[in-house]
Structure 1
Amino acid sequence: MSSGPVRGVRFALQRQLAACLLVLSSSLATPPASAREVVDMAGRTVSVPDVVERPFGAAPPLTALLYALDPSLVHSLNMAFTPGSEHMLRPGTMDLPVLGSAMGHGKQVNPEALLALKPDLALGWLNDKSDLPPAGIEAPFRKVGVPLVYVRLETLADWPPAFEYVGRLVGREARGKQLADYIRRAMARVDQAVARVPAGKRVSVYYAETPDGLATDCDTSFHSEPIALAGGANVYRCEQRTMYGQERVDMERILLWNPQVIVAQDPMFIRTAAGDPRWQRIAALKSGRVLDVPRKPMNWLDRPPSFMRALGIQWLANAFYPDRYRIDMRAETRTFYRLFFGAELSDADLDELLGGGRR
């Protein structure tokens, strides 16, 4: 047989294969015929399915939001939950695939992996500090034909309307309102307790985010917002420059600030500070006011910033001003986990979450 016919047969087979792949891709990515138009929180009009069954959260806060609304809506993760949290979550949650996110840093979602998930809708993180332009965020979803709806989640005050909006979007309206109401009440209680503390008498706080304690965030950053909401005065006063944050500072500046309280995000920092005589000179260490942030199943304050902050600001306010914000944190933590996770915490769970609060 001559080479010409062979090439012709091969070309025909390649065309047939490409056509089959195109049909398969279209069947997975094309939204159902029954659709509706919604206006997202960025003001865009988006065509979405009448019934949303397989939403994808394009960033950790969005996946957290979906989980709280209904764990059955979560089919993949952006990042893993804290190890050892299995009993606080729906069975199988820890085994879900980790696809990454569309944020501009960390593991980025792969369009092919997204397509295999068969999502019918994606939720995008609307945050004015985003390091990516909208085109960069939207690209992977446009490529596979999945509609993207932006949800604003920059401050804790954004969470109640976000829960209500997404609750309506995915058919969980009553649940969305229930969660929104809790957050509004928690914020109001904390604000009422700390609002009258004069600026000059607010507890000075340093936010230590890394094992060495030398990375922190500005007082205006959304990463450190819980400190401000709880009435703390963040000693690192500046304007947030990037979405990621964690700006480096030196030990000399921290010694000059001499904060009354240190909020520690990394558990290794406790060991670092205990073995470094420079840290021992700081007021927070002298008085034992180093707060080890609870992290199960998600961090109570940040990374990711989530609805957990509604509990985190109560924990902080009680630690900053125990005479002003009096609360039974064990009882409140039980209530919160029951509502947002459907989890019943044991005494051992509470000991682990709250027992190491001050070091």
Structure 2
Amino acid sequence: MKRKFIVIFLIVLIAAVAYFMVYTKPWITKISVLYPEDASDIFNELKARFEDGNWFTGVNLKAYTDSENVDEVLGLERVDVVVLNRVDVAEGLRRDGYVDWFIEFANRSRSVYCIAVVKGSTHQSQALEFIRFVLENSKIYADLCTVVTPVRGFGDVPEELQQFVAKYKVIADWANRSVVIPENIKRIVSLVPVITVSIIMEGAGDLLVGVDRISPTSEFLQIVYPRIKNIPVAGFLTEFDEEYILSLNPDVVLVKDSIVVDRFEKIGIPVIVIDMGDLNYEQLYSALRLIGGVVNRKDATEELVSYCESVVESLLNVTSKIPKSERPKVYIAMGDGLTTHVTRVSKDTIWVAGGICVAENLTAPAGAPRVQVSMETILEWNPDVIIAWDPKVKQRILSDPRWSVINAVKNGRVYVLPRGIREWIIPEPEAVLGAKWLAAELYPDVFTFSRDDVREFYSRFLNYTVSEEQIDKILSGTYVTTV
């Protein structure tokens, strides 16, 4: 009887162990996959197929409904693999350190599916094994969504997955859009003059396959960067032919206004908005860094931005201590003298140089950098210094008796604005030269500006040695650009 009991006990024990082994599979490592609920059909199928062919790794699926709260889940629960249905959210997780990389592998409707191993996962190798399975077996979900071919890798994609991916990056533009572009851009179209100039100064002019209609007309740019004469003109701001730009086969188009975005998205061209029309210096630095991120010229960009920052900072170390009431009043004269430039960078240039713009409270109509003023207003302002947009403006002012009572005219302080590629007071890097030049004109006993400053700038950022004659033309504002 005792032997019979032992036999029955052993049979029951073996059955229990067998049941435990079959249904719990303790030898299997379970990875946790957090995925969007709208991809349940895709990941249920992937889980079944993956586990059918894998004795050692299993998958626990966890669905979420709100992608905005994924970071909270990652902070509270153990997750090995995360799937996002928006590229901007995936990039946000990468930026915030939850993942080091992600891969866009499929999309449908408004969802773009990206997958990554969560940083700090205790099952890194198994998580990578699952992602490799997802990438190698797109036929499993090809009928459920659109497969991205080749898949797009962002960030430091692990070596074992690099064979599957084409490298991309996410650029956050000034219209709060997350734009996906190749990591190494090879072909760019710029429809904005200051963006075109900035790209060239950042050492990426060779990437330009189409430019705005203004830049090639710059007499000085044709000298320092002769290739500009041979780059196709693609348009200007909002004036362009989409089909012609499409024929240029650009990787990306850089524009000023978000109103043109739909026109490019309809034909499948990535477009980045950088509103460089009206910037102060801090915004200029940000714009230059954004452009540098697009063209992948980090070192050249930082050198350019650091130069700009150091020049402005050295001026502000002195001029920021000058009370507003003691600053010379400065007027920028254009056209017949009764038109003035009122962009943020022109006002910022005057302020950094130690002056105060008499038109500081005026704003131009949308899309225009200038406003008309009356002679009565000029007489009321009575500027101490006048910056003439070109030599002809200075000549008109000095030959018009109405201006003779103005302090700037009486004291011989009407100066022509220097002009290289463009005028030294518009939102591109030459504006910092304008600030340094103007500071020396306003405070000749405090600041100096020399021909060496001109030589250094164009040598460093355009790799061009300017001649004495060219410096004369720059400082006299006689180089021409057709606007």
* Closer/same/farther in 2, CA of residues 96 and 37 from structure 1, 3 Å limit: closer
Counterpart of 2:172, as a letter, is D
How many residue pairs end up in the alignment? 311
**Equivalent pairs: percent with the same residue?**
29
Rounded Cα–Cα distance in structure 2 between residues aligned with 1:224 and 1:328: 20
Counterpart of 2:173, as a letter, is M
Rounded Cα–Cα distance in structure 1 between residues aligned with 2:215 and 2:272: 23
C-alpha offsets along residues 69-110 of structure 1, whole Å, 9 cap, x if unaligned? 12212233311355532564222313433333335xxxx122
| 8 Å contact from structure 1 (residues 123, 149) kept in 2 | yes
Aligned to 2:168: 36
Q: Secondary structure, in 3 states, of the residue corresponding to 1:343?
A: coil
Aligned to 1:233: 356
Alignment of 1:1-359 (within 5 A): 34-42=166-174, 43-70=176-203, 71-78=205-212, 79-81=214-216, 83-85=218-220, 88-103=223-238, 108-125=239-256, 134=258, 136-151=259-274, 153=276, 154-210=279-335, 212-218=336-342, 221-240=344-363, 241-302=365-426, 305-325=427-447, 327-355=448-476
Counterpart of 1:77, as a letter, is V
Which of 1 and 2 has greater Rg?
Answer: 2
Q: Secondary structure, in 3 states, of the residue corresponding to 1:161?
A: helix
C-alpha offsets along residues 165-201 of structure 1, whole Å, 9 cap, x if unaligned? 3323322111111111111101101111211111111
Counterpart of 1:194, as a letter, is T
Higher relative contact order, structure no. (Cα contacts within 8 Å, ≥ 6 residues apart): 1
Rounded Cα–Cα distance in structure 1 between residues aligned with 2:171 and 2:326: 44
| 8 Å contact from structure 2 (residues 436, 449) kept in 1 | no
| 8 Å contact from structure 1 (residues 123, 151) kept in 2 | yes
Counterpart of 1:192, as a letter, is N
Q: Secondary structure, in 3 states, of the residue corresponding to 2:234?
A: coil
* Closer/same/farther in 2, CA of residues 351 and 288 from structure 1, 3 Å limit: same
Question: Which structure shows the higher strand fraction?
Answer: 2
Rounded Cα–Cα distance in structure 2 between residues aligned with 1:209 and 1:100: 26
- TM-score normalised per structure 2: 0.60
C-alpha offsets along residues 139-164 of structure 1, whole Å, 9 cap, x if unaligned? 33223321112336422222333333
Rounded Cα–Cα distance in structure 1 between residues aligned with 2:280 and 2:477: 27
| 8 Å contact from structure 1 (residues 40, 150) kept in 2 | no
Deviation at 1:319, TM superposition (A): 0.9
Rounded Cα–Cα distance in structure 1 between residues aligned with 2:332 and 2:188: 34
Structure 1: give runs of 5+ residues left out of the alignment. 1-29, 126-131
| 8 Å contact from structure 2 (residues 419, 476) kept in 1 | no
* Closer/same/farther in 2, CA of residues 236 and 86 from structure 1, 3 Å limit: closer
